[in-house]
Structure 1
Amino acid sequence: MREVIGWLLDSDPALRWQVERDLLGRPEGVWGATRALVGVEGFGARLRALQGDDGMWAGGAFFPAGFDGTEAGQPWTATTWSLTSLREWGLEASALAGTVELLAASCRWEYQDLPYWGGEVDCCINSWTLANGVWLGADVQGIAEWFVEHQLEDGGWNCEWVEGSTRSSFHSTLNSVKGLLLHEVATGGTAATRAARARGEEYLLERDLFRRLSTGEVVGEWALRFRSPFRWGYSVLNALDHFRAAGVTDPRMAEAVEIVRGARQEDGTWLQGGRHPGRVWFEIDVAEGEPSKWLTFYAMRVLKWWDR
């Protein structure tokens, strides 16, 4: 255990401050000082430096300028992905002062040229925009209400609702409740948005976080495969970390917790299940099959929370 913690502490400030806070329980003065480094060194400083004068990254909202869909994988370089990374790494919003206004003036969604802070029709994109908006102080209340209006009958969401899908997706539902939680933490939410989040979480819980409701079979190998960064992808580890953040415990999570526990290697680490393919500014984690500091941190944090 001590060796693994030392290994985790030997990392970029974006990860190190979270290890200090969530695994070691160090005082805020300690982890806060490490968190302050995110904006001036390592991953955070590198990504901040890539922001354009127009407030965007790579000249686009969700896709980089000039993206024609022919390259392998989803590019992870545009504005939404860059903001999401900086937020998840713990960058203080003040470091991006003026970004809200710049994006309001110059950034439009690739879908129908819609204004950036108004969101679009994809619930995963809207979840990240909602989370990034409340972090930066943008007016994104309309996006929070959009989730209430577009929740499906079974309690979740599906980004393919535009194509007529009426059955929810594990991926879309988890991303949606994550965005709604961060909106709720920042603003208190409304009765309707709080109820929508609870319904979405129940959609996952009644499926034990990884089973089909109809047959009880595992919904897909992806649910048991841990990838870092999480990006849009669902896994029981990603889901459990959300429930930890939400302060929700339920016996229906127990089997998923044991799946996470069972993936721990003899040396106390968790292995990278494979990075999502696509263009990046720079890699922040190891290749498939190697011990991942990020996944080890997430798994240890989940197990600490559950076992406590």
Structure 2
Amino acid sequence: MDLLAWLRDSDPALRWQVERDLAGEPPEVWEATRARVVSEGFGARLLAVQDADGRWAGGAFFPAGFRGDEPQPWTATTWSLNALREWGLDGAVLSGTAELLARHCRWEYDDLPYWDGEVDCCINAWTLANGVWLGADVAGIAEWFVEHRLPDGGWNCAWVEGSTRSSVHSTLNALKGLLAHETATGGTPASRAARLSGEEYLLERGLFRRRSTDEPIGPWVREFGYPFRWRYDVLNAASYFRDAGRPDERMAEAIALIRAARQPDGTWRQARTDAGRVWFAVDVPAGQPSKWLTLFATRVLKWWDAR
């Protein structure tokens, strides 16, 4: 099939990235499509359910009233901001939201102020990225990552329980937050060094192997699913390294795993979906060809092959 035509026939949040990164359209084309995220499709629908106090679903990480007796919901403020930012919404559209969240949003953990972050590496990474996008002062969170890097070079959300070994999930999310901060502000010498250290943690493992045994970390490293949310897989990791502009040869086996998952028609299939409440579906059920995954994987391979 005509893969580009299939990908173009999609929500503006996805289409503008296809136009820019795969079709090579001039800026006036993809920027016009990107501008439609605020008024059409996924972006408009998610903006429409923002609370008057700046939050979504009345909570920071969990919706109001969540008691832990159901799967993780994906409707609260952090998840909603993540989605809008990743879809390319201009942060200026949410002018005033950073101030509203500073006044009205507190973390479920110890009632901490929203833009100060909390103790979870992944939560702090998303707060760092969302903060620089919305113009909040999150310099303290960037420094937090410097101070909480583990001896092996990465991060682990379980550090608060005493873990001293990094996690690929936590490390990748930390890297994304630090890269967003560095792109927006230049970072600091310490935060840049921490980010490079985290990259080395993943690259030393080829993005998917245990350093101790050289065996794959688990079958889930090749189970691609969109939205990525907190989950690690080699496509998610390779997409980060593309964004960071670092095509390291130690990624070659991971790239081969991504290439091997391509279907004969040029698509990638949704391998997993997360349980839990959502505002609305943004991709297909497991087993079906995913436009989002096809965008990410095609973009990674194009970048890798042109290195």
> How far did 1:24 drift?
1.2
Partners of 2:174 and 2:221 in 1: CA distance: 17
> How far did 1:275 drift?
1.1
The correspondence for 2:247, drawn from 231, 246, 249, is 249
Structure 1 match to 2:144? 146
Q: Percent identity?
A: 71
Structure 2 match to 1:62? 61
Structure 1 portions without partners, runs of 5+: none
1:80-95 equivalence runs, <5 A: 80-95=78-93
* SS of structure 2 residue aligned to 1:167: coil
* SS of structure 1 residue aligned to 2:2: helix
> How far did 1:25 drift?
1.4
Partners of 1:30 and 1:111 in 2: CA distance: 44
Partners of 1:35 and 1:27 in 2: CA distance: 13
Structure 2 match to 1:36? 35
Letter in 1 for 2:171: T
Structure 2 match to 1:25? 24
> How far did 1:222 drift?
1.2
Structure 1 match to 2:161? 163
> How far did 1:274 drift?
1.2
Q: 1:36-86 deviations in whole A, cap 9, x for unaligned?
A: 000001000000000000000000000000000001x21000000000000
Structure 2 match to 1:273? 271
1:1-308 equivalence runs, <5 A: 3-71=2-70, 73-308=71-306
Partners of 2:278 and 2:222 in 1: CA distance: 24
TM-score of the aligned structures, taking structure 2 as reference length: 0.99
The alignment yields a C-alpha RMSD, in angstroms, of: 0.6
Partners of 1:193 and 1:24 in 2: CA distance: 35
Partners of 1:124 and 1:202 in 2: CA distance: 18
Q: 1:81-100 deviations in whole A, cap 9, x for unaligned?
A: 00000000001111111100
Partners of 1:66 and 1:136 in 2: CA distance: 27
Partners of 2:149 and 2:275 in 1: CA distance: 29
Task: Give the 4+ runs in structure 1 shifted more than 4 A.
Answer: none
TM-score of the aligned structures, taking structure 1 as reference length: 0.99
Letter in 1 for 2:45: R
Partners of 1:214 and 1:156 in 2: CA distance: 16
